[in-house]
Amino acid sequence: MDILRLALLGLAAGIAIIFGAHFLLEVGHAQKEGPALASTNTQVVDPLQVAREKIEKRIAATAPDYMRFFDRLKQLLPDEYDRILDGFARQSLEGADMTNVDSLLSEAVRTLRLSSGSYAAKADGPALSRIFDLQLSMMRALAAKDPKLCVDFLYGGASQAFFEFSSQNRPLVADMAVAGLEALNKVRAKLIERRPPSDGDFGLLETALRTKQVSDAEISAILDGKTPTPPIAAQRMCEVGQIYLQTLTELPAETRFRIYGLAVELMAHS
């Protein structure tokens, strides 16, 4: 199997999937630094804790949809939650602007994705399907807004314009983030081992794409990440991305889940 054929299988890696290495490992909570007592009567304020609480309150007040993700993260991965929020607090104390809650969610997703992403590839079929169904919903919403944003999402880009879109579509963005957590929840209950997709699996995918009038150049662009000459227009590339995701849902279950699983594993390394 040519690994280059997987170039774009990890769609929107910076947004869609979140992971936590400690989710599958029985490790105790790291000792946390709380407010220190100077004496039995005097409590020293911890600047890190104060900054963290401000960030938590800001997220809750301005983006309640995102709190679904952070609350679930705190429940499932408390150590990771503390590490991420403490990191946000330190950046705030160093003078960074931590008021953009859309950027905070994106950064939290990215951090967790890099922790131990390959585990989510072993989630059950419905959990994997939920991830890719939401990616298709996101592409459709972006296509209606701006085909260029749709293509940026297809290639895993995250621009200021995408953050602006996210702020207007927080329920959908939060659903995508939570879907990754729920995939990990399924993994904790049961690991599903799958073999990688074969050349035959990719052959089925390519044949199905061609029946939907996707050209060889467009297939190469979506699977190999190659830009043809002349380049494909943004509107058409956005359409091809949606056709690709829809076509995956129509493949035989075993083929579909092998491709989904490898795609999620690749997201962890992107």
Structural domain span for residue 190: 3-24+47-267
Contact 20, 184 (CB under 8 A): yes
Q: Domain for residue 36, yes or no?
A: no
**Rounded to an integer, what distance in angstroms lies between the CA atom of residue 37 and that of residue 51?**
19
- C-alpha–C-alpha distance, residues 230 and 81, integer Å: 46
Which amino acid appears at position 67 of this protein?
Answer: M
Question: Which DSSP category does 220 fall into?
Answer: H
Using pLDDT thresholds of 50, 70 and 90, give the confidence band for residue 185: confident
User: How confident is the model over 72-94, as pLDDT tens digits?
Assistant: 999 988 998 999 999 999 999 99
Tell me the range of 67-81, 96-110, 124-138, 163-177 where mean pLDDT is highest: 67-81
- Tell me how many domains the chain contains: 1
| pTM for the full predicted model | 0.75
33: in domain: no
The reported pLDDT for the residue numbered 181 is: 83
Position 40 in a domain: no
pLDDT for 33 equals 40
Q: How many residues does the chain have?
A: 270
How does residue 41 score in pLDDT terms, banded at 50, 70 and 90?
A: low
Q: Answer yes or no: is 99 within a domain.
A: yes
How far is CA 115 from each of CA 24, 74, 103, 192, rounded to the nearest angstrom? 12, 16, 19, 20
